[in-house]
Chains A and B, each alone.
Chain A
Amino acid sequence: MAEMDEPMVVDGGSGVSFEWGGRWSHIKKFLERPGPFTHPDFEPGTEALTGFRNINVVDMDTIDVSNLNRQFLFRPKDVGRPKAEVAADFINSRVPGCCVVPHFKKIQDLDETFYRQFHIIVCGLDSIVARRWMNGMLLSLLVYEDGVLDPGSIIPLIDGGTEGFKGNARVILPGMTACIDCTLELYPPQINFPMCTIASMPRLPEHCIEYVRILQWPKELPFGDGVVLDGDDPEHIQWVFQRSLERAAEFSITGVTYRLTQGVVKRIIPAVASTNAVIAAACATEVFKLATSAYIPLSNYMVFNDVDGLYTYTFEAERKENCSACRQVPQDLHFQQSSKLQEVLDFLTENASLQMKSPAITATVEGKNKTLYLQSVPSIEQRTRANLSKTLKELGLTDGQELAVADSTTPQTVMFRLCFTS
């Protein structure tokens, strides 16, 4: 008995159906058939395909010609246009019935009302700071009733990242499984060259380039006052390149090239289509599993490397006991009464599990909310700078009191508890 392949109607929201026979044939086998490896919650049926999925994409960037070697939704004619908009246009036109809504914005420009509407969030961000922010945003949406997490408030986060031939994909269930901050130590902090090497003892071509970028440019301001070095401006790079050659010649250092210059100035990370395809595919597979319960999702971290053959390693990253992001309990800070506020600031930025960028510290002192130090607003920075050299005792802080810390790495303030040591 031959099976009739009924065209399925999917409502694109405009009442028009975008269907043809066999369209969902490959997928239906995973939705309609029971099997030995399905998720315990899985119920075979076709409901998952009816009801319409819309996709929102957020990206603050515009398209650059160097994106074209791997970002396959973009063409030379699109250079300069917002990525989110071009991607949406391309997909909407290539995949009938798909409705991608673009947002040419930073992720930080959108708030809880925006993020709350989604079933799943997928990230392909280019910085750890941004990942931590998104992580914090989803954590802030969690609802606890009497200390118990309401599972309906959990929005799964699928995060993918690549560098050259290496990549990773992970599934985060905020409040339940390891979050970005739980595993911060997996990302070693970026190493910069020591200033004395750059200033007086260069040995590598990179040292010469950094010298020009950090010391020579601000001194000579070659393109005018207030004109900051722009890594995307070929004229700027050319200037840096020439000066770097001169610097290198002074010390008999070889190896300064235009390509190296640009790489150092822009902190370029090599990238190819293949690695990105692998990681994106792994992430998409997880979206499929989460959306359909067809299989148990990745639990919870996969790394990939195809420099020598193909290597994958899959493991379950554990939640950190005292994670400053996803644990409900304020983290203890151990300092002496005589410690200076600067020491607290240094700890917040240098500690491998916190790695804050420019934390703003406030506390309740004698019943009043007091900003101890804030760097990002110049007038407040000036006003509070003196506090850095004062001791915690001098600032009126007491043992056990809470400090609220705000930082770009998280949308919510992080609470700490001051514990004086003798």
Chain B
Amino acid sequence: TMAATKASKEQKYDRQLRLWGDHGQETLENAHVCLINATATGTEILKNLVLPGIGAFTIVDGHTVSGEDAGNNFFLSNNSIGRNRAQAATELLQELNGDVSGNFVEESPDKLLDNDPEFFHRFTIVIGVQLPESTCLRLGSVLWNASVPFLICKTYGLIGYMRLVVQEHTVIESHPDNALEDLRLDQPFEEFKNHTNSYDLDSMDKKDHSHTPWIIIVAKYLEKWLSEHNDQLPKNYKEKEAFRQTIREGIIKTDGGVPEDEENFEEAIKNVNTALNLTKIPSSIENLFNSEQCNSITSQSSPFWVMLRAVKEFVHDEGKGSLPVRGTIPDMIADSQKFINLQNVYREKAMQDAAAVSKHVECLLRSVGKPPESISEKDIKLFCKNASFLRVVRCRSLAEEYSVDSVNKDEIASYMDNPDSEMVFYLMLRAVDRFYQQHSRYPGVYNYQVEEDINKLKVCVNSLLQEYSLSVNIKDDYIHEFCRYGAAEPHTVSAFLGGSAAQEAIKIISHQFVPFNNTFIYNAMSQTSATFQL
């Protein structure tokens, strides 16, 4: 039954639902992922997408399974040697999760690009593995124009490489690790002021005094400070220390003058520093407000931009220069009633602000001829709650990365100031791609080739550096090492990339958490990594 399936999925996916919620899971179950090349890297990536329950996958691969393939790939058996690799891998990946629909196309991506490039338009994301440069560039162009996210992955010896190509990826729920609270103590809103006025600390009995939330305490003492300091907030360390002292003096004392144990006051003192942070719109959000997509809303604008524009208008109107109130407060020492009442003050303000933003959303939608209900209250509330944490990731296209006119020379050169930086592996990968273009093979695949290919590879390295006018030095050791790799794809490095790439794909599909931008290098020799924007 439908209900039984839903219940068993809730159980099965419980541990991941706690991270991205039911709505995140829904985006996964509606996704169709394309994997090109069922190599060890490819199948390891797909395993980590099939297990969490993506809707469907399609493997595109024209190769037949070789003895080498069966040796490093957990999803190919020696019995499948000689069979089409796409089909063989689909079987063993499919059986990981009955909820997922697995498909395969026995064709090389180059052929598909020749005959039917629109084949790729149907996918939520395309993941290309162990692809030569020419195929990447061709596919990159098609997917860019179709606005289909493209994730390129490569395992080369002990080096892992990922490149994300997505024009514009918006994130409402970025789930930041250490977010600052939104308490507005520097600019208390009307309802909050009324609420603090309902407290008279001096006339409270000890129990109430000791269980008053620290936010109220700071607000009260701040009020007093402002009246005595010409409406100026404590600015420097000295003033903040003096302010903390006023709070400390507010602690109830015994008849003998000994301060009682009032944990809530200690909390207030401890939190003064962050409580006095000025409420301001993060610069990242200001930048989004100033972007083209925010300023020209059309019927093609996604809900993200419509809501952002609405928030911008709110900021200039009802918000009086501030974002909608987030509406959450941290836990703190307090009795239940005082805490809940305070929490409700923030929650109600947040609801009010969200309602105001909603009106702006409706107006905008009407102005571009769209029904006002096309963006739900629920979505607007979620957007407002995350207003400080919105992120937009824009990756440069492959064409931009590879073109002599727009190559990011500065990024490459500055990292190469340290000749052992992970950047050297990026350059070596580009060099072996060049080698492949010239010699139709990778360097050092057979033992006898290793020595002689070192010089040939060095020629490729130098021509690469020359073409891009990069005056960097690549140590001979790295050229030797890349010949030694012989384009091997060891399983453990493939598996590391498998986990990394799958999670980036999940971020793209779910629009939760923040994808990398745009080049990731993993070095299994030193267990280090780096991210570059190329």
Task: List A residues at the B interface (Cβ < 8 Å).
Answer: 1-3, 5, 20-27, 29-30, 32-37, 65-66, 68-70, 72, 75-76, 94-96, 164-165, 169, 201-204, 251-253, 259, 262-263, 268-282, 284-286, 288, 295-296, 298, 302, 306-310, 312, 314
Contact = CB atoms under 8 A, between A and B. Distances in A.
B211 interface: yes
Contacts of B11: 65-66
Contacts of B484: 29, 33-35
Interface residues of B, number: 88
A323 B504 CA distance: 40
Interface stretch (B169-177, B196-204, B280-288, B355-363): B169-177
Contacts of A307: 175-177, 513-514
B334 A285 contact: no
Interface string B502-534: 111010000001111100101011111101000
Contact of B529 (A66, A70, A76, A310): A310
Contacts of B174: 308
A1 B447 CA distance: 11
A275 B11 CA distance: 20
B15 A285 contact: no
A63 to B, nearest CB: 12
Which residue of A252, A272, A279 has the most chain B CB atoms within 10 A of its CB atom?
A272
B146 interface: no
24 contacts: A5-B67, A20-B70, A26-B71, A27-B488, A29-B484, A30-B158, A30-B488, A33-B486, A35-B484, A65-B12, A95-B74, A253-B340, A262-B14, A270-B19, A272-B15, A272-B16, A273-B52, A274-B502, A276-B499, A277-B502, A284-B491, A285-B496, A306-B513, A308-B513
Contact of B71 (A23, A32, A68, A201): A23
B77 A309 contact: no
B67 A273 contact: no
A26 B489 contact: yes
A76 B15 CA distance: 16
Contacts of B514: 307-309
A14 B81 CA distance: 24
Contacts of A30: 158, 488, 490
Interface string B326-345: 00000110111101100100
B339 A277 contact: no
B335 A285 contact: no
By secondary structure, the A interface counts as loop
Contacts of A271: 15-16
B13 interface: yes
B493 interface: yes
B163 to A, nearest CB: 13
A215 to B, nearest CB: 16
A69 B16 contact: yes
A277 B448 CA distance: 35
B397 to A, nearest CB: 19
Interface stretch (B43-51, B225-233, B401-409): B43-51
Interface string B299-339: 00000000000000000000000000000000110111101
B446 interface: yes
Contacts of A33: 447, 450, 484, 486
A68 B12 contact: yes
A203 B339 contact: yes
B66 interface: yes
A204 B340 CA distance: 9
B142 to A, nearest CB: 26
Contacts of B489: 26
A270 B14 CA distance: 8
Contact of B495 (A24, A262, A277): A277
Contacts of B528: 302, 312, 314
B18 A259 contact: yes
Given A69-B51, A282-B524, 17 more contacts: A3-B448, A22-B70, A29-B484, A72-B47, A76-B98, A203-B340, A203-B343, A253-B336, A262-B14, A268-B15, A272-B503, A274-B48, A275-B499, A281-B498, A310-B500, A310-B504, A312-B527
B67 to A, nearest CB: 3
Contact of B51 (A72, A262, A280): A72
